[in-house]
Structure 1
Amino acid sequence: MTALTAAYRVLASIALPFAARRTVAKLRQGGIDVHRTHERLGHATLERGLGDLVWIHAASVGESKSALILIERLLAMAPTAQILVTTGTASSAKVLAPRLPSRAFHQFAPLDGRGPIKRFLRHWRPQIGIFIESEIWPNLINCAHDQGVPLALLNARLSEGSARNWSRAPKTARDIFGLFGIIHTQDTRTARALGALGLTHARIGVNLKSVLLPPRINELARARLEKQFGPRPLWAAVSTHPGEDEIMIKAHQQLRQSHPNAALILVPRHPERARGIRLLCEGHSIAQRSLEEMPDIETSIYLADTLGETDLWFNLAHLVCLCGSFSDVGGHTPFEPAAAGAAILHGPHYSNFEEVYAKFSEAGASLQVHDAETLAESLDLLIRQPDHARALGENARPLAKAGLEELDRLAAQCLTLAGIERN
């Protein structure tokens, strides 16, 4: 154990009571029942079944959704195994739990204190721990390893800042990342950064976010909304973060100067921001989905403040602006709108998916814009030239095709590491 790891352990112990109160309060605000909030302290609310248990840990909505196809493949390969999926946020639980197949279930992850972690591991006794993306909790990883749980890090991604920070503490990085028997990265930058730290078993592979399950669309809801909006220009701004809603609304105002009947489906990444967003829409005719307000031919902005319906918006609006790319968030995956054949627009900040967007740009499958003005101009162009919009969507579809063979190899490696028999 390095001095840095030891210091973290002490600080985590001191901070645990404060972190527990804050975390429980956030889950309660997110609509989680109080008894389930205790899962964050390592108190399970479900019994452990008999047999093998695969534990998959993801941070939030995007990471947990990307794990769904992996869960499907693991269950198909190991028909007697169960899968425990842990996340840390209320939104991830609401989105993930209804989508989990039989033999898979959700619990909230323990806080990174040794007490909650030991209670969690003592109850669940997993055969393997699979961590998704960059969800690195030193105490959780160390405790699992100390109790003999094999570990895998899949779809790993380090931002330039994270890679730089880890390079300043190479021994600590090796001590933590070296506990993973499998390290699979989603991009070349992460593989190189980990390799430079001495983690030579880090390998680039299929990006889990590019391997998609069939979209979950309520066709009745889609048909009804399509009828309500009527035959007019419709675009969606998906996964907006603070500061981006203003950009989307400004672009929409400019677009309506040339297309007065255009409608915007505004989809915040975090629905709890809906009240503030609605205030920004003053002057527009607005309908809000969570309030069961239906759009009509006069609606200018439809505030889609619900969880788990992004597939519906990607299929309803054939022009999609992916947000998180007009702020320092670093962008969101384009694979889901690509699978729907949507024409994809995005902002200039997409460090989370740099290689992915480079492929989309090279294939003529997306358009980069810089601000509200250029977004409005591009939307106007695509509305006036529907063949151009269709070409963008058609070029994007092949990029979203599943790499199931490579995914199956990865799933098989995890089951072998866990010592779980495959069929």
Structure 2
Amino acid sequence: MIARALYSALFYLVTPAVLLRLWWRARKQPEYLQHVGERYGLYPQDAPDKLIWLHAVSVGETRAAEPLIMALLSEWPKHHLLLTHMTPTGRETGAMYVNRYPGRVTQAYLPYDLPDGVEHFFKHFRPLIGLLMETELWPNLIAGAGKCNVPIALVNARLSASSQRGYQRFSYLAKPAFASLSFVSAQTVADAARLVQLGASSVTVTGNLKFDVTPSPDKLQLGAQWRQALGRRPVWLAASTREGEEALILDALAHINRSDLLLLLVPRHPQRFAEVAALVEERKLSLCRRSEGALVTPETRVWLGDSMGEMPAYYAVADLALIGGSLLPFGGQNLIEAAACGCPVLVGPHTFNFAQATEDAIACGAARRIADAEGAAVEVAKLLSDGEALQSMRDAAASFSQAHRGATERTIALIREITAPRTAD
């Protein structure tokens, strides 16, 4: 209690810096200055009755939550869903559920972890249960839920060894929060073991919800149309790249002796699209931007995927993909979506965010690991000249994706068991 009081006092003290950071980020994404009141628990919209609350912090978590959202709305047809986020891109991604299920899904920002903001949040929305995606755990939020008798669960939970060490440094705050969770559905056995060590008591391995995400047929069809227009031209996709990686990839491209090779470059964060375009232009490579609408020409060397929500189309058009965030120590992005689209992948040395999925994909032949960008260039050249090997990887990717499905059903079973009295009609 004392530790949380000190934590709260410190959070209040740094509030001016938090607001300054919002303003700073709004220079590239003006949306950060929208709905600021919600970040402090002030909500203008009315709250529907019978709310099931799901928190998905940003884009990745919001997309991964799709099968769970569909299952929740199907399992409890008389209830509404409150979907909260922390980033504008997460909120933008979540808007598709509002449009798909009119009248049943409400969106808002989760407040910062300040006692009064958290209190306003629970008093306003009065959720029956709360589901936090992956690792979004805050001491005052968990304590506030306990005060209001709202059971909280961590779903699709993952925890790397480095994140575990970070929580352990603040165990006086983390352990009470983990111990207060009604249940945890973990992605892997290793995740479950780390969560138990941090104080979580009811932990079940349910698998990764991302395997249950079905790529949009419309986006797959779009990718197929692009492929038809490009003919036999090979496409190397660099998917969800992070700061510093694009320069390495562009330099490696020069070492591939394929003048017909098209590099499809898709940065992870939209605020970096212009920055990455400048990197391409600096190297005097012919550039086409997806946002401009035109398809690439035979002279185009780099196609910049500066759009949102089209990753399945990019995977569908690609011959193989390098997963971003893995060349430099960011931990890697999600390779599961690539597998679901039947796209072979390369991963760099840094894949701790999806360690188990990556190792499983490599083991079954759906993915290959490379040491650096130069190694990626060598592997790309090798695979593009070996159609049989590429097809084998495609087949392995599809099998890998199918074999790991079922996490949604197992997670819903846990929710049903723990919260049946609260969600009864």
- TM > 0.5 between the two? yes
CA-to-partner distance for each residue in 1:224-282, whole Å, 9 max, x for gaps? 53355342111110000011001211222212xx2111101100001211222122113
Q: In the alignment, what sits opposite 2:410? A: 409
Q: State the match for 1:394 in structure 2.
A: 395
Letter of the structure 1 residue corresponding to residue 277 of structure 2:
R
Question: What CA distance in whole angstroms lies between the structure 1 residues aligned with 2:217 and 2:424?
Answer: 29
CA deviations 1:169-222 (Å, max 9, x no partner) are: 545332111111011211222211222344332222211122213425346743
How does the TM-score come out when normalised to structure 2?
Answer: 0.92
Q: Distance in 1 between matches of 2:324 and 2:33?
A: 33
What secondary structure, in the 3-state scheme, does the structure 1 residue paired with 2:254 have?
A: helix
Asked if structure 2 preserves the Cα contact closer than 8 Å seen for 1:314 and 1:337, the reply is yes
* Equivalent position of 2:181 in the other structure: 180
Q: Tell me, yes or no, if structure 1 residue 146 matches structure 2 residue 147.
A: yes
**1:232-311 matched pairs, under 5 angstroms:** 232-255=233-256, 258-281=257-280, 282-311=283-312
The whole-number CA distance in structure 1 between the counterparts of 2:80 and 2:202 is 28
- Residue range with higher mean Cα deviation, 221-230 or 178-187: 221-230
Distance in 1 between residues matched to 2:401 and 2:10, nearest whole Å: 43
CA contact (8 A) 1:345 1:369 kept: yes
Deviation of 1:134 (Å): 1.1
Pick closer, same or farther for the CA change 1:189–1:121 going to 2, 3 Å.
same
Are the structure 2 counterparts of residues 358 and 413 from structure 1 closer, same or farther at C-alpha, using a change threshold of 3 Å? same
Contact 1:110 1:116 in 2 (8 A): yes
Matched, 1:53 2:51: yes
- Matched with 2:91 is 93
Distance in 1 (alpha carbons) for counterparts of 2:403 and 2:8: 41
Displacement of 1:407 after TM fit?
A: 2.1
Q: Would you say the 8 A contact 2:32–2:87 is kept in 1?
A: no
Q: Compared with structure 1, are the counterparts of its residues 45 and 237 closer, same or farther at alpha carbon in structure 2 (3 Å cutoff)?
A: farther
Distance 1:273 1:33, change over 3 A: closer
**Aligned equivalents of 1:274, 1:210: Cα separation in 2:** 28
Q: CA RMSD in A?
A: 2.2
- Paired residue type of 2:293: E
What is the CA-CA distance between 1:166 and the residue it aligns to? 3.0
Query: 1:185-200 to 2 correspondence within 5 Å?
Result: 185-200=186-201
In 2, Cα distance between equivalents of 1:311 and 1:59:
21
Q: Secondary structure at the match of 1:135?
A: coil
Check conservation: 2:185, 2:203, Cα contact below 8 A.
Answer: yes
Between the aligned partners of 1:5 and 1:181, the Cα distance in structure 2 is 20
Aligned amino acid, residue 93 of structure 1: R
TM-aligned CA distance change 1:312 to 1:173, over 3 Å: same
Looking at structure 2, the residues matched to 314 and 191 of structure 1 have their Cα atoms a distance apart, in angstroms, of: 31
Mark the CA change 1:378 to 1:18 in structure 2 (over 3 Å): closer, same or farther: same
1:212 and 1:402 in contact (8 A); partners too: no
Which ranges in structure 2 are unaligned for 5 or more consecutive residues?
none
User: When the two structures are superposed, what TM-score results if normalisation uses the length of structure 1?
Assistant: 0.92
Identity of matched residues, % = 30
State the shift of 1:81 in Å.
0.9
Name the residue aligned to 2:80: 82
The answer to which of 210-219 and 178-187 deviates more is: 210-219
Deviation, structure 1 residue 82 = 0.9
1:133-172 Cα shifts (integer Å, max 9, x gaps): 1112211221122111110011222221221233345453
Q: Distance in 2 between matches of 1:183 and 1:280?
A: 43
* 2:71 partner amino acid: R
| Aligned 1:11-410 pairs, distance under 5 A | 11-23=10-22, 26=25, 29-32=28-31, 36-50=35-49, 52-100=50-98, 101-102=100-101, 103-215=104-216, 217-218=218-219, 221-222=222-223, 224-255=225-256, 258-281=257-280, 282-401=283-402, 405-410=406-411
Q: In 2, are the aligned partners of 1:151 and 1:180 still within 8 Å (CA)? A: yes
- Tell me the distance in 2 between the aligned counterparts of 1:326 and 1:108: 32
Amino acid at match of 1:68: E
Separation in 1 of the partners of 2:20 and 2:377?
A: 44
| In 1, Cα distance between equivalents of 2:212 and 2:221 | 26
What SS does the aligned partner of 2:327 have? Answer: coil
Greater mean deviation of Cα atoms: 16-25 or 314-323: 16-25
The CA distance in 2 between the partners of 1:273 and 1:168, in whole Å, is: 33
Q: Partner letter of residue 254 of structure 2?
A: Q
The alignment covers a number of residue pairs equal to: 419
State the one-letter code of the partner of 1:319. L
SS in 2 for 1:370: coil
One-letter amino acid of the structure 2 residue matched with residue 286 of structure 1: L
Shift of 1:395: 0.4
State the distance in 1 between where 2:406 and 2:263 align.
Answer: 38
Instruction: Please say if residues 228 and 295 of structure 1, whose CA atoms lie closer than 8 Å, have aligned partners that are also in contact.
Output: no
The residue identity in structure 2 corresponding to 1:162 is S
CA contact (8 A) 1:185 1:203 kept: yes
